[in-house]
Chain A
Amino acid sequence: MSERFDQVPIAGNIIKPGNATQYKTGGWRAERPVHTPDNCLWIKNGTCGRCWILCPDSAVRLIEKDGKYSYEYDYDYCKGCGICANECPTQSIRMESE
């Protein structure tokens, strides 16, 4: 994201194949989702996962390790659309200004 005009390939040609993980959409974000674990069904018993299913940028990470459930965002990709906060049945997510 910081190459000068004379360091980028001509005409925007992409000379090495890549995939969408290289588009870091997090830079678009005006609001960020903040998660409170108290009522979250995933943290409580490993169910629900609506935010994980519905996030259009796969920016929600629901993690299970040795029977313990944890929750995090990948802010490189979360573009702050607020769908997760809107869809959470337990209001465990709120949107905060960046």
Chain B
Amino acid sequence: MTKQVPQSEIRIEGLTGDAAIAHALKQCDIDVLSAYPITPQTIIVEDFQKFAADGEVKTRVIPVESEHSALSACVGASALGARVATASASAGLALMWEILYCAASMRQPIVLAVANRALSAPINIHNDWSDTYGARDSGFIQLYCQSCQEAYDTTIMAFKIAEDHRVLLPVMVCIDGFILSHNVERVEMLPDKAVQDFVGVRVPYQVLDPDNPITMGPLCLTDYYFEFKEQQDRAMKAVPEVYKAVEAEFKEMTGRSYGVVEKYMTDDADIIVFTHSTPAGTAKAVVNAMREKGEKVGLLRLKMFRPFPAEQVREAVKKAKAVAVFEKCMSFGAPSNPLALELRTALYDLEKKPMVTDFVIGLGGRDVPPTTIVDGIEKTKKYLQERSAPMYETLGVRK
């Protein structure tokens, strides 16, 4: 039974999102960290290497020459039974691509922190979600955070979810590059022991062991490959239940929980804003302001993008007149963009569906002020009156 940590044992620090993740990794007592620094993830690795250099962790830190190697080393170490983490962003994540699939398909519970950043070209170091959205089908669980506190908490929970034998899948813990990775916020830190007791010791399902040799990641052709993919899909489907249990335990310890979706004034809302990460914070302020004027708007913040909690999303928005999606990613050539595609699919079977409007915002770190969210809501109101909306449009671009 997890006990609540008394307030007197909680350390309050001002931490960036990256630093919060580095501290969480330290407290989770990871065995191996193999990473290559890339903006805006760099602080995670820098801070962690400082812990290692100062002897604060027993972790074996492996500096490598590229992200492809970083994740490869993680897969190898994880196959030996180690608790393993890495961090990346943008082009670095793209360079990990091949190994993302290996990590997930080999069912290695690696935690990968991502400071979401745009992809080239032109080269851009600022935030959007193109990197992790591109990796959405790699078999990683994807959890998106809205605050530094949440980044800290989610990293701790991620190991417990990933290492659960019903799951055994790697997790991406995503924070918005710079907006969260580099901004200092108040973070309540748990005592080391509380974190270690919560996460526990990794009990690997199968390990590479010279005394009991097995082969991992072998060639597998038409005769079996499909069966392994079925297994993987079932493991993904088990995630929400495991997530719920892990979060309930975390709540007992800290009083904090997030849910796979966060409902904010959605129950009686005519228009629901649907987004995640930092735009959700902006949207919450917009909802508050518009509610004061008597407008029935709400916010549905998505925490878990993979697996997509279709049922909860459907349930939360089914009574609304419209759902306005705000997403920092584009799926070039698709009928609409990734988040709206997921939502539309989730709603398709409903007899009476809310209208879905899709707004692409903030690409390459373009600011998303409250006015952008208001703009999208106003457009949605207009489209509701006209009973027709475009499949998607961009907001905040000069045109």
Taking beta carbons and an 8 Å cutoff, which residues of A are in contact with B?
Answer: 1, 3-6, 8-15, 17, 27
Q: Are A14 and B214 in contact (CB under 8 A)?
A: yes
5 A-B pairs with CB atoms under 8 Å apart are A1-B223, A5-B226, A12-B106, A12-B218, A13-B218
Q: Give the residues in chain A near B230, CB-CB below 8 Å.
A: 5
Select from chain A the residue with minimum beta-carbon distance to B108.
A11
Nearest CB in chain A: distance from B238 CB, A:
13
Segment 194-209 of B: residues with Cβ below 8 Å from A: 205-206
A17 to B211, CA, bound (A): 12
Nearest CB in chain B: distance from A11 CB, A:
4
Q: Give the residues in chain A near B225, CB-CB below 8 Å.
A: 12
Segment 211-227 of B: residues with Cβ below 8 Å from A: 213-218, 220, 223-227
Known: A1-B223, A10-B206. A15 touches B231 (CB 8 A): no
Q: Are A11 and B214 in contact (CB under 8 A)?
A: no
Which of B206, B217, B231 is in CB contact (< 8 Å) with A6? B231
Which of A4, A6, A12, A27 is in CB contact (< 8 Å) with B220? A12
Nearest CB in chain A: distance from B311 CB, A:
24
Asked whether B372 is an interface residue with its Cβ less than 8 Å from the other chain, the reply is no
Asked whether B168 is an interface residue with its Cβ less than 8 Å from the other chain, the reply is yes
A9 to B227, CA, bound (A): 10
Taking beta carbons and an 8 Å cutoff, which residues of B are in contact with A?
Answer: 105-107, 168, 205-206, 213-218, 220, 223-228, 230-231, 234
Q: Are A3 and B227 in contact (CB under 8 A)?
A: yes
A27 to B222, CA, bound (A): 10
Q: Are A8 and B216 in contact (CB under 8 A)?
A: no
Q: Are A17 and B231 in contact (CB under 8 A)?
A: no
Number of A-B contacts (CB under 8 A): 49
A3 to B228, CA, bound (A): 11
Majority secondary structure, A binding face: loop
Q: Are A5 and B206 in contact (CB under 8 A)?
A: no
Which of B106, B223, B227 is in CB contact (< 8 Å) with A5? B227
Nearest CB in chain B: distance from A76 CB, A:
14
Nearest CB in chain A: distance from B308 CB, A:
22
A13 to B92, CA, bound (A): 28
Nearest CB in chain B: distance from A12 CB, A:
5
Q: Are A10 and B214 in contact (CB under 8 A)?
A: no
Q: Are B218 and A14 in contact (CB under 8 A)?
A: yes
Q: Give the residues in chain B near A15, CB-CB below 8 Å.
A: 206, 214
Q: Give the residues in chain B near A5, CB-CB below 8 Å.
A: 226-228, 230-231, 234
A36 to B228, CA, bound (A): 43
A50 to B224, CA, bound (A): 35
Which of B213, B216, B234 is in CB contact (< 8 Å) with A11? B216
User: Shortest 3 CB-CB distances between A and B: which pairs?
Assistant: A5-B230, A14-B215, A5-B227
Q: Give the residues in chain A near B231, CB-CB below 8 Å.
A: 5-6, 8, 10-11
Q: Give the residues in chain A near B105, CB-CB below 8 Å.
A: 11-12
Q: Give the residues in chain A near B106, CB-CB below 8 Å.
A: 11-12
Which of A8, A12, A17 is in CB contact (< 8 Å) with B213? A17
Q: Are A12 and B228 in contact (CB under 8 A)?
A: yes
A14 to B228, CA, bound (A): 12
Q: Are B223 and A4 in contact (CB under 8 A)?
A: no
Nearest CB in chain B: distance from A35 CB, A:
28
Q: Give the residues in chain B near A10, CB-CB below 8 Å.
A: 107, 168, 205-206, 231
